[in-house]
Each structure stands twice: as structure tokens, then as C-alpha cells.
A and B are shown apart, each in its own frame.
Chain A
Amino acid sequence: MKILVCISNVPDTTSKINFTADQTKFDTTGVQFVINPNDEFGLTRAMWFKEKQGATVHVATVGGPGVEPTMRKALAIGADEGIRINAEPTDGFFVASQLAEVIKNGGYDLIIAGRESIDYNGGMVPGIIAALLDIHFVNTCIGLEIEGNKVKAVREIDGGKETLETSLPLIIGGQKGLVEESDLRIPNMRGIMMARQKKLNVVEPVEAIHAMSDKTFDKPAPKGPVKLVDADNVGELVNLLHSEAKVI
């Protein structure tokens, strides 16, 4: 089985988010980048398929040279090979188009993407890839087992879960549940050393339209100070709830 894990390079969740160039660009100064958590759950599940079922695991990312440390981490965790599509990941359609090309040429049986990246939360890449390649798609996937060509997948649905049967080739939008947080792997020292020798191929992007572009970003207004209302002054509390908080 040949697996491709699609990885996004995203800011660490503790990063301070700021914008530059008149609120049009994300300010990456001092920001630490990590593997998108939804993708990392998928990668960890892929490692399981590698170790238990002898799968080959590749990882692919759309991005400039700056994303390579994140890809090396995936290789250090155990992926066999990396593919970097040398372009800025401007929007979901563009990214999906690039990945679809890699998938078409690579003969992958299973494509694991994250349900969404935690930076822009677009949540459309795996769906668009499925459409472009006309392959099966399971989103919000929280469980995955494969035997031969047969797939048993579990999907999170509102208030419960749904178990599905399908077949390869397949793309999933993975999330926590595929594996748990405690299953996530810390790259070990030998893995890090070996990552140096693994192939990280850089491919140039194919023609694809930029379906969307960012105009401006707005941060939520800072929270105001807490107002303490005296216990005897219920009138003022009601007034504040009505006129300021607008909840009653």
C-alpha cells in the first residue's frame, strides 16, 4: 500500500498572531511552525500502517523552502520520502490542484489529509482533491482500518459516529481519533539522523488558478475590562446586560 500524507506547515498554537502590510499579510516574525495537528494524527496513523502492514509513506507539502524543517520532522517521525511543491499555498483550490497532480503521478492508494489546517481553517483541500481525482472521500475521519482493498472508516457526525465501508483509492480528511494525542510521536534521535538521508524532492507547481485571495484580516476587538456591579444594584446589572452586552 502506498500512502501519501498531505501536510500543512502551520503556526504553533501558542503563537501570537499579527498582520503586516496593512492587515493583508500574516506576520511570521518570531512564529514557530509545526505540522498541522490534524495532519499529524494522520501521519501517526500512517506510521501504524507502515509498521503493521508494510505500507510506504510519503509526505507532500505545498510551500517554499521555509517548510522543509516541518517536512524533515515528518521524515524523522518515519515517513519514507517527502515531496515539496515549490509554491506559496495561497488558497484551497490551488493547493488541492497541486496535490492532485502529485497523487496522479505517484500512484497512491490512500491519501491522508487533515480535516482542516489550524491556520486558515479552510477545510476544503481533501474534498477538492477527491473531486479532481474522482476518488472516494471520507471527511472528519476518526478511525481507519484497511484490509487489501477494503476500507472500514469511522466518521464523526453530530453527536455520534458513523462507520462506513468503502474501498481504495481513498482520500480522508483526518482528525483526532485516528490516533490519540498520547500516540503522537516525538522524533527520536536516530530518526532525526536518518531524515537527513531521506529524499525530499522539490517539484515545480503546475498551472492552476488562484480561486481566492486574501484581502484583509481583522483581529477580534480586545476584551474590555471586567465590570463589577454591586450586589444591591440589580437595576444597573439589568441595564448593562440589556444596553451593553445586549443579551436580554
Chain B
Amino acid sequence: MSTETLKKDILRGGQFLVKETQCEDVFTLEDLNEEQRMMRESTKEFVEREIWAHWERFEKKDYAFTEECMRKAGELGFLSIAVPEAYGGMGMGFVSTMLVCDYISGATGSFSTAFGAHTGIGTLPITLYGTEEQKQKYVPKLATGEWFGAYCLTEPGAGSDANSGKTKAVLSADKKYYSITGQKMWISNAGFCNLFIVFARIEDDKNITGFIVENDPKNGISLGEEEKKLGIHSSSTRQVFFNETKVPVENMLSERGNGFKIAMNALNVGRIKLAAACLEAQRRVTTEAVKYANERIQFKTPIVNFGAIKAKIAQMSINVYAGESACYRAAKNIEDRIAIRVAEGNSHQEAELKGVEEYAIECSILKVAVSEDVQNTTDEGIQIFGGMGFSADTPMEKAWRDARIARIYEGTNEINRMLAVGMLVKKAMKGHVDLLGPATAVGEELMGIPSFETPDFSELFAEEKDLIARLKKVFLMVAGSAVQKFGPDLESHQQVLLAAADILIEIYMAESTLLRTEKNAKREGEAAQEIQIAMTRLYLYEAVDLVIKKGKEAIVSFAEGDEQRMMLMGLKRYTKYTNPPNVVALRNKIADKVAADNRYTFDG
């Protein structure tokens, strides 16, 4: 693929909202190459043999076992996928990185947290921002698992407001080192890491600064007790205290005052990877649930035959399928964007940074959507298991507890929702995404008389595509009016932002799902994709309902009188189905297939 074609075909971040994507242009799990499939098999084998077989040990807070498993992951090369070859890594593309994050999550929340904290926020800040010397010194050790990394951003008084940390870095008189003092909390991998990425403030700087700090108890570093947590029991989570810890000046990451930027960019990558890391966890839960439902007999019938259970199994499967569709679509966009940047002469480091930053909106969307899906999937998993699901002797209970953290870390879902919309508005203001033109067009359309023609919906997904195009108009109508009404003050109208974010999320997820299925249906024929088509239709149906709810909520909160009436009518017009699907029949069809296979089988 030449740079020119790449440039032409790939959407910019956030552009999905105003541009139509062709199904041939999205990457799907079905597009994995042979090597990626082998990597996936290896990951699954590792999880099955080394981790899942011992899941109970993770529940007993066996932190040493987590460390042991991390070392094994290092031996098998799982920690070095994303690390450039020059620093002892595999230098694989973003899709492969996501793939491993995804399938390693079939282990336990404890392990995938340790894995994510090390490979993502523990290693990436150095590969992305480190000097050549820093990278040579630290990255090869992190890539093999000889050393482990941890990321120290959060403080007792600085959580979502990450730039407000009180940890200080004071330059020594001889200007050879910084002395760091402060308290960091919720530090994953703290108990066994060799290196911390620490954010601290120099003097009264507006922004914090990043440092690489080697773990040495003799250098004023001490740890709090292991935190008692709801889930991820064997992820080591401790406070880290720095008391005049001496850090050589050459261990500063990037420049003074660049820490907040580093922190945020590391989190962008962290977010999309976290989304991926909620997928295999869901596949496992779905599979365990359907196996149980096939075996559990009540009223002389396996409970899988009951409609109430079928609805759950269908929903769980759709959650995974939609998450896969959107995660891998975005992952490939990022990979291609990085390739473009490299082709343009950027260093790999710069290219990767800008490539991921470009899709920060999508990263936030995915983080929210998939972390909530894993919560819902595990919740229904428990429900299908009934009383057994509530018992700690079955894996459902811990899956549910482990899932809960995903809505909190890497930026809470509330922060990420507001960020997604906020970043989009900023991009529009800067002219990176033209929202104004399409929003004005929507405004004009609302004033005009609607067309009463019945479009031709005979082709596969014709109506669904039309609906998605209209959902985009709902977002433009709601967000556009909100921006007009509140101007820069929109930031403080959080509930409007949250509602707009939900609409945005549903659009991205529904569109990604549809494009994936359409692509595969074109390749393999509609009959082979019958279930995926059903899942796509059902996802969209639920998405439309949510858009109606959230759109209404936003409109009535800031529009009044004629304007409100016009917008509500617009909402109705844009969310109208000509041929609403029979959702019960769709659910049954999906659930029957999953029941017959006795597992989730749609991951390409």
C-alpha cells in the first residue's frame, strides 16, 4: 500500500462521525494473517495451561504467582510484542499488540492487569518518550521480563485530576539529580517492580514532569501494605512513598513540564488496550455460561432452551462481537496511521505517539463501551449460573468482581465520556474534523419538510446503514446545539456531555459491527454470516433505543419551546425504523447457535 493510498483511505480520528466508511476499509478479526493466528493460539495455550488452570491461586492473593506468571509471559515473548526490535522486542504492529492483550485477558483480571500495567503504562512511556540512552538501558530488561515496570501517577489528592499531584522533584545544588518526595497510590505491580515511572512537580510548574526511578529501598522508597480490593486479588496494588529519592537528572522523561502529556498519551494507548483486555474475558464468561446452561436441567429441560436464558446468551455474544469489531477497526487505523507517519519520515517513536493520539477519541469510546460490556456480560454470567454464580467456587463470581475495575482505571468512564466529546469539539474548532458543515446541514434539514418516499431497503443492511447515517445526525443536532448554546462553558454541563457521549459511542460501535459483518458477508456470502447479521441488527436496534433516550435527555435539558419541539421531532425522524427487526427471533437465532456450538465462536 503506498503512502498516497493510505492517506486517502484512512479516516482521521473522529471522522467516522461525518464520513461514510466502506466495509472493505475496516480491519476485522477475520482478517488476521497466519502469523497473528499463531500468536493468538500461543496466547490462548499459555493462558489455558499456565494461568487458568490455577485461577483459584489468584483469588487467594498469591502475588508471587502473578510474578511467576509474568516471568513466564516474558520467556514466551508476550511482554515484548510492542517493543521495537532495536531494544530487544518484536516490533510488531498495533493489531498484533492488541491481539495479545485481548487473548491474555482470558486468564484472570489479576494477570491481565499486571500484564497491562507492565507492557502498557510501565514500559511505553520509555519507548515513546525516552532518550536513546534511557531506552538502551531499560527497555530490553522490561521487554524480556527481567525487570518489571509500574506507573506512578495517582495520589491521594490527585485521581481524575491527575495534573494536581503534590509529589515534588527538587534539583540538587550540584544539578546532578532530582530529589523526589511524595505519595503515590493504587500502583499496580508495585510489590514486584524494578522500575517506576513517576510523575512529580518541579518548583511551581503548571505541569508535572515524568521520571524513570529505579526501585531501591535504600533510596527512600517504601511501599504500603497490599490494598484490600473488590477484585483483581492477585494484582499487586500498593502505595509507594518517595522520601527524598535521588534520581539522576538524565532519568527525566522527555522535558520538564511534559509529564502530563506523557501521562495522557500513555493512557490513550492504555485505554484501547484495556478495551481489548475485556474481550477474551467476555468470551470465556459467555462460553462458561452457555456450557452451564446446556447442562443445567430445570423443569426437565436444559435451561438453555428457555427464552429468558436465550436473551442473555444472545446479549452476551453481541457484546463481545461488537467490542471485537470496534477494537480491531480502531487498532488497524492506528497501525496504518503509524505506517503513514513512518513513511513521511517520522521516527518510529514520534509516529507511534502521533498515530495513537490521532485516535484518542476512539480510544476513549472503546474504553467506556467495552469495560461496560464486560461488566454486563459477567453480571448475566452470574445470573445464568443462578445461586452457583454467586458462589466463589465457580469462576463467575470472580469474573464479575475482576471486571468492575475496568470502569475505573485508565480514566474513569465518566472522564472518558466527557473527553470523547470534548476532544471531538476541539478537533472541530481546530478544523481537523469538519463538524460545522454537516451540523449546519442537519439544522437546515430539520427546518425543511421531510421526504415521504420509502427508500429501497432491499440490499443487505441498506436500512441499517441509513439508520446509522441518521444517528450521526442526531449527534450533530444535539452536540451542535449544545456547543452553540453553551460555548466554552459546555465543559461544565457534564450531564449533557455524558448523554452526547453515549450517542457517539453507540454510533461507533454499531457502525463498526455493521461494517465487519458486511465485509464478511461480501466475502463469504450472507448465509455464512447469518448469525453475525442477526447480531448486527440486534446491536443497532438497542443502540437506536439508547440514542432516543439520551438524545431526549439532552434536548429537554437545554432547548425550550419551538426549538425543543423541532429537535424532538428531528430525533423521532432520525431514529425511525421502516422495518423494525423481530428482536425476539434474532435473539433466539443467536442463542441457538451459541448453544449448539457450546461456546462463543465468532472471533474469526
Interface of A toward B, CB cutoff 8 Å: 16, 30, 68-69, 72-73, 76, 186-193, 195-196
- How many chain B residues touch A (Cβ–Cβ < 8 Å)? 20
The interface centre, meaning the residue of B75, B76, B90, B597 with most chain A CB atoms within 10 A of its CB, is B76
Task: Enumerate chain B residues within 8 angstroms of A189, measured Cβ to Cβ.
Answer: 39, 42, 76-78, 80-81, 90, 92
Contact A192 B597 (CB under 8 A): no
**Partner-contacting stretch, out of B30-38, B252-260, B477-485:** B30-38
Question: For the complex, is B321 an interface residue (Cβ under 8 Å from A)?
Answer: no
Contact B34 A188 (CB under 8 A): no
Main secondary structure of the interface of A (DSSP, over half): helix
Contact A193 B35 (CB under 8 A): yes
Cβ-Cβ contact count across A and B, 8 Å cutoff:
48
The interface centre, meaning the residue of B34, B38, B45, B78 with most chain A CB atoms within 10 A of its CB, is B38
Which residue of the partner chain, among A72, A188, A195, A196, contacts B77 with CB atoms under 8 Å?
A188
Task: Enumerate chain A residues within 8 angstroms of B81, measured Cβ to Cβ.
Answer: 189
A76–B92 Cα distance when bound, in Å, is 16
Task: Enumerate chain B residues within 8 angstroms of A76, measured Cβ to Cβ.
Answer: 38, 42
Contact B41 A73 (CB under 8 A): yes
A68–B38 Cα distance when bound, in Å, is 11
Give B37-66 as 1s and 0s: 1 = Cβ < 8 Å from A's Cβ atoms: 111011001100100000000000000000
Interface of B toward A, CB cutoff 8 Å: 34-35, 37-39, 41-42, 45-46, 49, 75-78, 80-81, 90, 92, 597, 601
Given contacts A73-B38, A186-B42, A190-B90, 17 further A-B contacts (CB under 8 A): A30-B597, A30-B601, A69-B34, A69-B38, A72-B35, A76-B38, A76-B42, A186-B49, A188-B77, A189-B39, A189-B42, A189-B78, A189-B80, A189-B81, A193-B35, A195-B35, A196-B35
The interface centre, meaning the residue of A16, A69, A72, A193 with most chain B CB atoms within 10 A of its CB, is A193
Main secondary structure of the interface of B (DSSP, over half): helix
Closest beta carbon of chain B to A219's beta carbon, Å: 16
Task: Enumerate chain B residues within 8 angstroms of A196, measured Cβ to Cβ.
Answer: 35
Task: Enumerate chain A residues within 8 angstroms of B92, measured Cβ to Cβ.
Answer: 189, 193
- Contact sample, A vs B, 19 pairs, CB 8 Å cutoff: A16-B597, A30-B597, A73-B41, A76-B38, A76-B42, A186-B42, A186-B45, A186-B46, A187-B38, A189-B76, A189-B80, A190-B77, A190-B90, A191-B77, A192-B35, A193-B35, A193-B92, A195-B35, A196-B35
Task: Enumerate chain A residues within 8 angstroms of B35, measured Cβ to Cβ.
Answer: 72, 192-193, 195-196
In this complex, what residue of B is CB-closest to A225?
Answer: B300
A158–B376 Cα distance when bound, in Å, is 53
Closest beta carbon of chain B to A84's beta carbon, Å: 14
Contact A186 B76 (CB under 8 A): yes
